[in-house]
Amino acid sequence: MPLRPVEFHILLALAADERHGYSILQEVAELTDGDLTLEPGTLYRALHRMLKDGWVVESGRRPAADVDDERRRYYRLTPLGRRVATAEADRLWRLLAVARRHRLLTRA
Amino acid sequence: MPDLNGDRRLAWWLVWMYPPRFRRDVGLGLVDTLDDRMRARREAGAPRLAVWIRAIADTLRNASAEWIDLLRERGPATFERRTGRTMIDTLQQDVRYAIRTWTRRPGFALVAILTLAIGLGANTAMFSIVNAVLLRPLPYAHADRLVTVWATIKGNPRTLVLYKDYRELAKQNSSFDALGLWLSQSVNLTGVSEPQRLVGAFMTGSMFDVLGLRAERGRLFSEEESAPGTVKPYVIITHDFWQQRFEGKDSAIGSVLTLNGTPQTIVGVLAPVDSRSAPGNGWFLSADVFIPAAHFPSPRGLDSVAMIGVARLKAGITPATARADLDVIAGRLQTVDPLTNAGRGVDIEMAHDSIVGQSRTALFLLLASVGAVLLIACVNVSNLLLARAVDRQREIALRAALGASRLAVTRQLAVEAGLLAFVGAILGLLLGRWVLQALASLRPPRGFPIPQVIGLDPTVLLFTAAIALFVAVVCSLAPALRTSRPDLRDVLQAGFRRGSSAGGRTREVLVVVEVALSVALVAIAGLLIQSLLAVQKAPLGFDASNVFTLEFRLPQAKYRQPESIAAFFRQAIERVRAVPGVQSAALVRALPFSGNWGSTSYLVEGGTPPAKGSEPLTRYHIVTPDSFRTLRIPLLRGRDFTDRDDLPSPHVAIVNDTFACAVFPNEDPIGKRISTPDTGPLTIVGVVGDTKQLSATEPAQPQLYVAHYQFPLIFTALVARTSGPPMSVSNDVRKAIWSVDQDQPMWAVRSLEDTVGATLGQPVFLATLLGVFAGVALLLAAVGVYGVMSYAVAQRTHEIGIRLALGASDGRVLREVVARAAKLTAAAIFIGLAIAVAAGRFAATVLFGVRPSDPITLAAAAAVLAVVSLAACYLPARRASRVDPVIALAEE
């Protein structure tokens, strides 16, 4: 079954780094060249589901106090979350291959 | 920083809308992220309201979805495909249905949304003010324990506290954490390029402790440093004054200000208090400089000076306990010091009440009025929805017969009403902001403590959301009750003829409600306009036109002797009289309507002396010769003061008509002798007409005038009658006074007419607002009556057609429709008048010169509504009488 786009984007945003809520929103906007602007409520509903399903966890670590505000909560991927993201990327890649075969791709 | 706080507070409120489990798991993170997002958008230049609305919209969507997931007791399908119709789907369908209906009939949607926006906007604006004035605490630490301390005397439970009593109260009480005294008075700042008048707060060192104030630079002065004997030449300045005069430099500490002729050293800068939202314009913090109490200019020492007492109750001490404690001390003082304290008590009042108390009635009256406007708006929208629902009755009945649940029908109505309320609320918020700006420009009256900044804050948003929800429920209630239990057989048997009287009764009740509320609003507005007119017409006793005024205070250090003060006065008046355009000029101690006044007790020579503490009181004026002519106060008997009534000559007095009639009935008061504690014996030489001193609405009082040259005091005001516009002499008059003393600052430079006009603020403010509300109510009621009667006529087209075909005259049909409307209107007017009388009783304190049950006003309100309501039903009635029987019957 396909992932919801919101969830896949969150997984992508967390792939490289652990991030706090607003930083996820910024990263998602950047990844999609500003096409997708998530609202905080939408983000946290998805995060809440993903926390319950064990794809992400709240990171216990905090960056040094002078780098960032200490009050923020950071999230990172679990191994399960990483596997879900990989599976979704694989699925998309296979679809992409089909599209390419049918010359549906405009870009190389 | 305060903006940030607003965002964060809103974020907290918003997150509260999510289910508890969600909040526990990720609530804090969501608060941060909402806050971050709002700040980022604002930094990108988006207006605050737009940012908030997006955050609210986001929350409404996601929080409701989260609740629905929770109620369905299964997590949202992440991997399984969703099948069947979920609640969200149905809701979306209902919303789409509603929007489709609106686009098909944009007129309906427009009217409904605008109606609600007006109601919600007015309520948002009014609640913003109530919230800021009545609900927000004073901006001091432990504001809920701050009390004002008053001295009570016979006939006046709210007088100032003598400094000598303050010392005893501070020593002996066991109820206060801290007790302080303060009084604000203008002070002259000299030794600078142009002499300047500052607002000074003379205060005991303990005041800082009472209010929990800190120094931002330097230090505060202590109780000891403010007390007579141990007083230091210190002064503390406010943050604003520091920025203005010293550009915020640290070198301000230690510099010297010459205040009232005495050099005083700046020892500290007071940390600013967030007074943006403080009622009463920051209360005493509107002073520029804070000066130790013992520097108060008083010829007889600080002990006899009376000031405003403020105290902080100990935690857990109730006002009642404190009162009992203070009563004991006051009793002790009466026995120890009977000469000054006979009959004097002590009372306390919550400080917040002292500041906002008087405007409470007015505010609640306004809030109740906008509430009534909102109800009327709801009734109209409810009527529109009901009319539509009745139209759809056959469809609904069919759907019900085919198995649609009642719930589905009701839900559709509720969703539509909710959507209307939501859109109306968003528009209402914008409207409310605009209304607030308009109100601020109306210049809210003196004594009506509207904070300088009234913004929409989270509490206000929450209030608006709550009343919007209320609107949605009220609007959908009547239609839902009507249509969710249609009698299937009746409706279907009615064939293709449109339902006859379905919903008719409900709509009639609704119309009665809205007309009744409109009657009440129009009546109250009428009462307020009547009292405004009465206030404007009330005789003042003097002629305020073409009078130029200014106030000044001679520095005590420079003018120590009564002779030097009197000499200054004589010279100044002489020079002012010589100014071209000035017809006559005089000095008066307290300008009428300036808020200044004095009173004194007095004894009549030869009469039986009354008991200590119950001497009669009179208003007390000190004036120079020619003041009566300048203000055009009629001299009824005897003579005015003259230049020969000076220091060495026998002391004379002039009394007003009320005084003369009350004290010397059937006798000639000229030549009679009276005495006051301040002046000693006085001989009455004249009688003048009564004048108003504080407001046009005060009752007539005994007034006593003494001669300024015999009792020269350093504070006084100049009044000058001009031949042209009063302000045209402003510069020349000031130059004339500066030619006597170039160091003398002057203020309150304005025309007497403006001063008098400013006191009309409250009646004008109330009458304007109520007038607008009543106008809106009238309009909405007219629309409501028109709508209901049109609809009733349209529904009866068939029946009317038959009757016309059978020979009924069109006049008869017309009469019948109008008669129905008249009956409803009569019932509504009756109910409305009852509401108006009850509301008028509540509002009695803001009325003047008109009784709450004034028959003329009530009759006028009834007549206005009768005319409006009959006019609104005339068009539909005429349409009914012109029905073409052929067409009506062919409709089958």
Strand pairing report for B582-588 and B715-722: antiparallel
CB B161 within 8 A of CB B151: yes
Whether residue B524 is found in the same domain as residue B572 = no
Instruction: Tell me, rounded to whole angstroms, the distance of Cα B69 from its chain centroid.
Output: 46
Q: What is the distance in angstroms between the CA of the first residue and the CA of the last residue of chain B?
A: 70
Q: CA-CA distances (angstroms) from residue B814 to B475, B809, B882?
A: 31, 9, 9
Q: Which residues is B292 bridged to in the sheet?
A: B203
Q: SS3 sequence, B26-93? A: HHHHHHHHHHHHHHHHHHCCCCHHHHHHHHHHHHHHHHHHHHHHHHCCCCCCCCCCCCCCCHHHHHHH
Domain annotation covers residue B751: no
DSSP letter, residue B892 = -
Q: Is B5 helix (H, G, I), strand (E, B) or coil?
A: helix
Residue B609 burial by Cβ neighbours in a 10 Å radius (0-12, 13-18, 19+): exposed
Distance in angstroms (rounded) separating the CA atoms of residues B713 and B710:
10
Q: Which residues is B604 bridged to in the sheet?
A: B674
CB contact under 8 A, A39 and B54: yes
Chain A partners of B76 at a C-beta cutoff of 8 Å? Answer: 49
Q: DSSP of A61-96, one letter per residue?
A: ----TTTS-TT--EEEE-HHHHHHHHHHHHHHHHHH
User: Angle, to 10 degrees, between the axis of helix B761-795 and the axis of helix B504-537?
Assistant: 160
Chain A partners of B58 at a C-beta cutoff of 8 Å? Answer: 39-42
Closest-CA residue of A relative to B29 is: A73
Whether residue B337 is found in the same domain as residue B392 = no
Nearest-CA distance A93 → chain B (Å): 19
Structural domains of chain A sorted by starting position, each given as residue range(s) with its CATH number in brackets = 5-63+70-101 (1.10.10.10)
DSSP letter, residue B184 = E
CB contact under 8 A, B33 and A40: yes
Instruction: Tell me, rounded to whole angstroms, the distance of Cα B450 from its chain centroid.
Output: 6
Residue numbers of B between 392 and 451 with CB closer than 8 Å to A: none
Domain annotation covers residue B326: yes
Whether residue B329 is found in the same domain as residue B184 = yes
Please, which residues have CB within 8 angstroms of residue B862's CB and are 6 or more apart in sequence? B519, B829, B832, B833
Of B19, B49, B83, the last residue of a domain is B83
A10 touches chain B (CB under 8 A): no
**B26, B81, B83, best to mutate vs chain A, most A CBs in 10 Å:** B26
Residue B658 burial by Cβ neighbours in a 10 Å radius (0-12, 13-18, 19+): middle
A62 touches chain B (CB under 8 A): no
Between chain A and chain B, the number of residue pairs with CB atoms below 8 A apart is: 75
Q: Is B168 helix (H, G, I), strand (E, B) or coil?
A: helix
Distance in angstroms (rounded) separating the CA atoms of residues B161 and B345:
10
Whether residue B667 is found in the same domain as residue B592 = yes
Please, which residues have CB within 8 angstroms of residue B771's CB and are 6 or more apart in sequence? B525, B528, B529
- The per-residue pLDDT for B704 is 95
Q: Is B255 helix (H, G, I), strand (E, B) or coil?
A: coil
Of B342, B376, B396, the last residue of a domain is B342
How many other β-carbons are positioned within 10 Å of the β-carbon of residue B684?
24
Domain annotation covers residue B607: yes
Domain annotation covers residue B93: no
Distance in angstroms (rounded) separating the CA atoms of residues B193 and B189:
10
Structure tokens that stand for B672 in this block: 């009679």
Distance in angstroms (rounded) separating the CA atoms of residues B204 and B189:
21
Whether residue B416 is found in the same domain as residue B483 = yes
B4 touches chain A (CB under 8 A): no
Whether residue B279 is found in the same domain as residue B381 = no
What's the alpha-carbon Rg for chain A, to the nearest Å? 16
Whether residue B181 is found in the same domain as residue B325 = yes
Whether residue B328 is found in the same domain as residue B238 = yes
Whether residue B647 is found in the same domain as residue B673 = yes
Nearest-CA distance A100 → chain B (Å): 27
If you search the block for the tokens 């009665």, which residue do you land on? B512
When CB atoms are compared, the residue of B33, B66, B81 closest to A45 is B66
Whether residue B463 is found in the same domain as residue B569 = no
* Greatest pairwise CA separation for chain B in angstroms: 108
**B25, B37, B88, best to mutate vs chain A, most A CBs in 10 Å:** B37
Domain annotation covers residue B690: yes
Domain annotation covers residue B656: yes
Structure tokens that stand for B612 in this block: 């200590």
Please, which residues have CB within 8 angstroms of residue B45's CB and are 6 or more apart in sequence? none
Whether residue B394 is found in the same domain as residue B528 = no
Q: Which residues is B654 bridged to in the sheet?
A: B686, B705
Residue numbers of B between 723 and 782 with CB closer than 8 Å to A: none
Chain A partners of B65 at a C-beta cutoff of 8 Å? Answer: 45
Count structural domains, chain B.
5
Report mean pLDDT in 10-residue bins for chain B, 892 residues: 66 87 88 89 83 86 82 49 58 81 80 88 86 77 88 81 91 92 86 79 92 90 91 91 89 90 91 61 69 85 87 92 92 84 86 77 86 89 78 70 70 84 89 80 59 67 87 80 60 49 71 89 89 86 93 83 90 94 93 85 83 79 94 94 91 94 91 89 95 86 93 90 92 90 84 85 80 87 82 78 82 83 90 91 82 88 89 82 74 54
Domain annotation covers residue B754: no
**A44, A51, A53, A56, best to mutate vs chain B, most B CBs in 10 Å:** A44
Please, which residues have CB within 8 angstroms of residue B508's CB and are 6 or more apart in sequence? B788, B824
DSSP letter, residue B611 = P
- The per-residue pLDDT for B83 is 44
CB B268 within 8 A of CB B213: no
Whether residue B806 is found in the same domain as residue B732 = no
Structure tokens that stand for B422 in this block: 């939501």
CB contact under 8 A, B62 and A39: yes
Tally of residues, chain A: 108
DSSP letter, residue B366 = H
Domain annotation covers residue B294: yes
Provide the residue range defining the domain that includes B508: 504-537+761-890
Of B342, B374, B392, the last residue of a domain is B342
Closest-CA residue of A relative to B62 is: A41
